[in-house]
Amino acid sequence: MSMHAQPAVLSLSASELARRLRARELRSVDVVGAHVRRAQAVNGRLNALVVKRFGEAMAEAERADAELDRGADPALRPLLGVPCTIKESFGFEGMPNAAGLVSRGAYRAPADCVTVARLRQAGAIPLGVTNTSELCMWLESSNRLYGRTSNPYDYRHMVGGSSGGEGAIVGAGASPFGLGSDIGGSIRLPAFFNGVFGHKASSGLVPSTGQYPPCDGDARRMLGTGPLCRRAEDLMPLLRILAGPDGVDDTVVPRTLGDPAEVALTGLRVRVVLQAGFGTVAPELRSAIQRAARALAALGAQVDHGEIPELKQSFLLWSQKLAVASPHSFHALLGQGEGPPLGRELVRWAVRRSPHTLPALGLALLEKVPGMGKPDPARVQADLDRTLAAILRTIEPGGVLLCPTFPRVAPRHGVPLLRPFDSGYTGVFNALELPATQVPAGLSRQGLPLGLQVVGLHGQDHVTIAVAMALEKALGGWIPPWQSGRPHAS
């Protein structure tokens, strides 16, 4: 089958697939089989799925069909028979859980972590686990254990990190949705670079239990677990499945989630902030955000434009908050307790013998630089409080910000090493604990995805998702790579 004649099921949302499966218009073996074949066709070039379980998935699809034939309760099994993918850093019974760390490569998870268990209990069928950056702390999903992941729109370009494998496999049309995590942009950046939707939840909504590396202390409030998906209508149903206390992560408390269908766009306060981080935003991305603003204005939203000066220090705000909140040093995590000798590892890296990537060694080394230790917590919190107050003044009682996700489209492989501070556009909202939804906005002249993030007030995840759903209709949403017409697309 040519890349221009893909099965229709590869374009449907998980919600629509589930509806058609329940109506018995589709069979799970056919839906899962189509996604398996798409993954087999593209993964050799992408290296997004790093460990596959296609045989197990097809067997689970057969069992799902039998259950659907008997009339399964959709309230209990809303995703029954629908395929998905899982970021490798989540504990998934019998699967690796190394986050790209060579020394942990032989480890296999003894059980499903809470979010994987919730998806599987809902009936989802994982096709495998996907690549990350080393220890989930870099913009590029590349490590010495699994290698480097490439972009489905142009394999010469990167996919983002750390949920880069998820972004690539969902963007390629080989998975309706995936499970990702985001402590500084790790859902939104891969969703942006790969042309799909992604949601970083408000703090305290989804437990992080069972992920590696472990996220402890106050850093758990910065970590948002959530979905990446090709259609916006899946965001809220998936969030409802994932959300809620698990009795282990004490940052998560019971919350009542709102309904995107009840969000009135008429009169909604929308502030366009084009300079919410370091680095000048490319003209094509500025234009995409302006198109989104005009679309919302046409729907009755109250749109205005203006910078929030406090956000110009976004990378510093995020990095200092993470330094204060994290009980473990990155260097220690790199050695699973005792950090490796960095001088030796840099020499080994230079002759291609180190088990670590250069970004990982660089981050560990940066911790050792005088003045780069833990900043004063009170000062950091005061800076964040001022920034949050400025946002509240702008969009209360329930509006949103439209911001760049990154200052340019997906860079070529390796380029972020030269521009490490560009990720500040996303991380600041982790530090502020706010919900943020990544929305695709067409393709650039190069054929690479454009997009923006919609940021809301704490606990108003349904508002950012409602805006994402409206923008999908206005801007076109995910454009499958096989429709991009580019020679390097998968």
Alpha carbon distance 126, 54 (integer Å): 9
Alpha carbon distance 229, 452 (integer Å): 15
Q: Return the beta strands (E) in 203-266 as ranges.
A: 224-229
162 counts as catalytic = yes
Residue 139, both tokens: 């913009």
Among the listed residues 13, 15, 28, 87, the single catalytic one is: 87
186 counts as catalytic = yes
Among the listed residues 150, 162, 175, 314, the single catalytic one is: 162
Cβ-count burial 338-368 (b if 16+ within 10 Å, e if not): ebbebeebbebbeeeebbbbbbbbbbbbebe
Contact between 176 and 170 under an 8 Å Cβ cutoff? The reply is yes
DSSP 7: -
Contact between 187 and 438 under an 8 Å Cβ cutoff? The reply is yes
Alpha carbon distance 103, 335 (integer Å): 8
Q: Which residue shows structure tokens 């409080």?
A: 385
87 counts as catalytic = yes
Among the listed residues 28, 175, 186, 202, the single catalytic one is: 186
74 prior amide bond cis, ω within 30: no
- Name which of 14, 9, 412 is nearest 178 in CA terms: 14
Residues 6+ apart with CB under 8 A from 393: none
Alpha carbon distance 221, 219 (integer Å): 5
Residues 6+ apart with CB under 8 A from 120: 112, 126
Residue 79, both tokens: 């995703």
Mark residue 193 as left, alpha or beta (left: phi above 0; alpha: psi -120 to 50; beta: remaining): alpha
Distances (CA, A) of 299 to 86, 156, 270, 400, 404: 36, 38, 12, 15, 21
Alpha carbon distance 119, 176 (integer Å): 13
Query: Any idea which residues carry the catalytic annotation?
Result: 87, 162, 186
